[in-house]
Structure 1
């Protein structure tokens, strides 16, 4: 990424930015930490771009295009510290200038597609921590008509009682590569949103790493609020929001594409009984209902059996590092960065660059005890939402390299 080819591309980008912003072609544009930008188009970049951006910084750019138009932001280059959750160095893009909906968070070297605001204002914010840094980013903003929907424009704010949303080019041809679309659906405070996909064809991948649709409760792309992540050619089951806001994100990478999708939404009163056929099958034992779980958590924490005996009875088996732990009620929600996966089952795997992670729920938060920063072998069941479920008798142990040979042997053995 930082070789001669990348440097040559940086020089070309800087020349384009200089030509666009100044009459003197020999001048190199100077990128500072944040700023106020107005007009039909322009460039923004991390402080000192294309040099290494400084540590411990927070830079904010506020972009305004003429009234009646929307802002389109295209990243030309991005090279920030890579992390599967973008926790350290990242760029956030927001609708509006203050308290706006976050359209996306980006890090690493993957360039998102065009990002479109729902008004004539957009805010971009870059934050860096004290450690690893890269060359930063450069992006171009431009004004577009709100109803302009070419290959790269999609998404927007949906506030009517019912409506549709679809991938660019639908139904005439495949959606384009390198596109990011975000639809923000907002219902009145006392209503929920019901969502159905009529047709669905998004590049298939076991982990939905390349092209995917993600649906979130609320108005931000927030992993804790994610309802699901979908790809392939089977429409997701109907979805009903928990609140009056829903966010739909579609992303395609720079390679294969497919037909795309069309979906429909409608508002419905909160108190109406659920009419959608939500999945009812589950791999969890009956002890996950409230009263048995309370009783279960009062018992002694006891693991039985061995690696071998638990391997076949578990839905999934992985080795990983616990990177986040969030207590919720009596349970613990954890994110595990995967070192190796031996048995996947229906476990939902997320991927950002080379980093893979999975979500697990420890039903009784102290039993078994998972500590952040430590490596474990984790075996458990999988729920309909793709999260691993860890019961007090689930097999959990510290992961050591000497376990690797035995786990590899179990992986190759038929249960």
Structure 2
């Protein structure tokens, strides 16, 4: 056998790459690691991720999952949604994610659904609770969010809110006063005074995106420590500072929300604690023109009246606490009365009516005292005039003015809106 021919020398570049190539063939590539998300859990640490069950697959129906997040003492929790895809509904009634301060009986920071991610959400302590609820029909991949610990006094431009317990202090929108507040931010300031004191609130500077009904960016102020439309003192936007506010008791909640479009300068507000004064006189309520006997639980006689609308838009406008146009989206019959939710088309006279908001959609709760009079049906549009209960719910009696809404009615209603009653 002839001797083997000598091998030609390897090229210099191949000599350099040879160790890498040998290592690559010797070790099989590890499969990419994907976190597995389960239904809820207890998580803690400086940072981490939570996600809906099965993410990025479709989340399961008829479930309620709760995550309890804890970061180190002295810090606050910052939650940032990286992805959100839940069944979309203007009122977030079906599938939604709720965010709460603390782990039990905490104030709700917000409720979210659809695909529009909120801004960074900040707790007022080192604990936060996240709860996702789905109904029988699911649609979407759910969510994934990152939590992290932050110093309550150095949280960066995107963060705001918290618990304020000093006898006086200030609060302001992110970036104030150097530049406009960012889009997609939610802030909640919870002011807590001693039990025997109340809180005085004043806005020094104020510039929030203007809208007739403050649907996009707004500041809402509530008596107590939770977002409750029945306890809402006011909802504000535009460039005029609200009048000074005095709380009923020792707690106030201030909520600021900006959507994902236009922004503005923002605001700075100041608060201080004051001794609670005992009331000296009792002023009778003047917000309703309905006789006191009619406000009691409806009697059979009331609901046996002949159901016939009387008067005109013009003649009923001033005698009504509220005047709205809207679509009936839910109806429930209870004890001979009809409880309805109205998706608002327009507000002409708000009075003390509690108007709820989810995204850019607004709604109100209406009680039709006698379910057949006036008769309203789901899915139809109406002009509704009525009175307002103490809890902010609209009340419609047989003699209240309700009629089908047509586009041609808008001209008359807009004229009435500018009328002095």
Deviations along 1:390-411, whole A, 9 cap, x unmatched?
45422225x5xxxx6xx22333
In structure 1, what is the Cα distance between the partners aligned to 2:41 and 2:254?
Answer: 30
Pick from 265, 270, 280 the counterpart of residue 264 of structure 1: 270
TM-aligned CA distance change 1:44 to 1:293, over 3 Å? closer
**1:147 to partner: Cα distance:** 0.9
In structure 2, what is the Cα distance between the partners aligned to 1:372 and 1:248?
Answer: 36
Matches within 5 A, 1:144-223: 144-223=150-229
Deviations along 1:232-276, whole A, 9 cap, x unmatched?
1122233333343221111112221111111222333444449xx
TM-score (norm 2): 0.75
Pick from 344, 348, 360 the counterpart of residue 344 of structure 1: 348
Within the alignment, does 1:250 sit opposite 2:256 as a pair?
yes
**1:345 to partner: Cα distance:** 4.4
Query: Which residue matches 1:410?
Result: 409
Deviations along 1:97-151, whole A, 9 cap, x unmatched?
2333222222222211111122222221111111243221111111111211321
In structure 1, what is the Cα distance between the partners aligned to 2:278 and 2:128?
Answer: 37
In structure 1, what is the Cα distance between the partners aligned to 2:278 and 2:205?
Answer: 26
The count of residues paired between Structure 1 and Structure 2 equals 375
Give secondary structure in 1 for the equivalent of 2:230: helix
Within the alignment, does 1:94 sit opposite 2:90 as a pair?
no
Give secondary structure in 2 for the equivalent of 1:411: helix
Query: Which residue matches 2:123?
Result: 117
Give secondary structure in 2 for the equivalent of 1:224: helix
In structure 1, what is the Cα distance between the partners aligned to 2:31 and 2:187?
Answer: 34
In structure 2, what is the Cα distance between the partners aligned to 1:172 and 1:281?
Answer: 45
**1:293 to partner: Cα distance:** 5.7
Within the alignment, does 1:141 sit opposite 2:147 as a pair?
yes
In structure 2, what is the Cα distance between the partners aligned to 1:333 and 1:265?
Answer: 39
In structure 2, what is the Cα distance between the partners aligned to 1:326 and 1:116?
Answer: 40
Question: Which is further off, 290-299 or 215-224?
Answer: 290-299
Within the alignment, does 1:60 sit opposite 2:59 as a pair?
no
Deviations along 1:256-310, whole A, 9 cap, x unmatched?
1111111222333444449xxxxx998x56x25757866999867566556x932
Matches within 5 A, 1:324-363: 335-338=341-344, 340-341=345-346, 344-346=348-350, 351-353=357-359, 355-360=361-366
TM-aligned CA distance change 1:288 to 1:57, over 3 Å? same
**1:77 to partner: Cα distance:** 1.4
Work out whether residues 328 and 340 of structure 2, in 8 Å CA contact, stay in contact via their aligned partners in 1.
Answer: no
Deviations along 1:290-340, whole A, 9 cap, x unmatched?
57866999867566556x93267436352421537799xxx99853124x5
Work out whether residues 202 and 260 of structure 1, in 8 Å CA contact, stay in contact via their aligned partners in 2.
Answer: yes
Work out whether residues 195 and 250 of structure 2, in 8 Å CA contact, stay in contact via their aligned partners in 1.
Answer: yes
TM-aligned CA distance change 1:355 to 1:251, over 3 Å? closer
Query: Which residue matches 1:309?
Result: 312
Q: Please identify the structure whose Cα radius of gyration is greater.
A: 2
TM-score (norm 1): 0.76
Work out whether residues 91 and 107 of structure 1, in 8 Å CA contact, stay in contact via their aligned partners in 2.
Answer: yes
Query: Which residue matches 1:378?
Result: 383
**1:85 to partner: Cα distance:** 3.2
**1:169 to partner: Cα distance:** 1.8
Structure 1: gaps (5+ residues): 1-23, 275-279
Question: Which is further off, 297-306 or 151-160?
Answer: 297-306
Give secondary structure in 2 for the equivalent of 1:408: coil
**1:93 to partner: Cα distance:** 1.4
CA RMSD, Structure 1 to Structure 2 (Å) = 3.9
In structure 1, what is the Cα distance between the partners aligned to 2:223 and 2:374?
Answer: 29
Work out whether residues 55 and 133 of structure 1, in 8 Å CA contact, stay in contact via their aligned partners in 2.
Answer: no
**1:221 to partner: Cα distance:** 2.1
Question: Which is further off, 367-376 or 132-141?
Answer: 367-376
Deviations along 1:355-386, whole A, 9 cap, x unmatched?
44235566x67795677957462332688x99
Pick from 52, 77, 81 the counterpart of residue 46 of structure 1: 52
Query: Which residue matches 1:35?
Result: 41
**1:185 to partner: Cα distance:** 1.4
**1:344 to partner: Cα distance:** 3.0
**1:86 to partner: Cα distance:** 2.4
In structure 2, what is the Cα distance between the partners aligned to 1:291 and 1:238?
Answer: 36
Matches within 5 A, 1:389-404: 390=396, 392-397=398-403, 399=404
Structure 2: gaps (5+ residues): 1-29, 417-421
Within the alignment, does 1:318 sit opposite 2:322 as a pair?
no
